[in-house]
Structure 1
């Protein structure tokens, strides 16, 4: 199925980069616009945060983790490049999911198109959403 292929591509992109991003990257990715935040019903120590994130060409993000789960979808696909690797397309419509404490990121946006994501974080309340890997 097409959805299974997108999930496989997104998972490979997000989880397979073992090298660190260049020193000039920021831990908090791109232009983050928080759209909504609410307590998670039935879990008083958790909250749900919906955001739109945009990385412009030339911008990059360090590898990071979250104190909970991140899920989302690519609203606008773009070419991304992990350090020392060939560029790959992160396609529009690709789903993403990053589990608690699993490091991901570590890429730069290359080419002339911004990468735009819609993300939903279900995370521990009061903790930074973006944290350096352990």
Structure 2
């Protein structure tokens, strides 16, 4: 098992492609941003926590807008030697 801990900053206007995490994921938002999901209204992200176990569902892909970047602490637990993130078409 590999455990990866990182602080990730997503710049303004950045697009995150659809992706999946194979394993457990915990995200804690340190500094919020505005999230724009396809076909959804923009939503402000305050400091919040998201936990998921055995995540195998792809994210919807998203864009971060507003007046500040998104900063988050991420923890991923995956099988040894496996990728943390896989892009989804």
- TM-score tier by shorter-chain length is 0.7 to 0.9
Counterpart of 1:130 in structure 2 is 85
Q: Which residue of 1 aligns with 2:51?
A: 97
**TM-score normalized by structure 1?**
0.60
Match of 2:38 among 79, 83, 86: 83
Contact 1:53 1:116 in 2 (8 A): yes
The total of aligned residue pairs comes to 88
Q: Which runs of 5+ in 2 are unaligned?
A: none
Indicate the structure whose relative CO is greater, using CA pairs within 8 Å and at least 6 residues apart.
Answer: 2
Q: Which has a greater percent of helix? A: 1
> Distance in 1 between the 2:37 and 2:86 partners?
19
- The CA RMSD measured in Å over matched residues stands at 1.6
User: Which is strand-richer, 1 or 2?
Assistant: 2
Report which of the two structures shows the higher radius of gyration computed on alpha carbons.
1
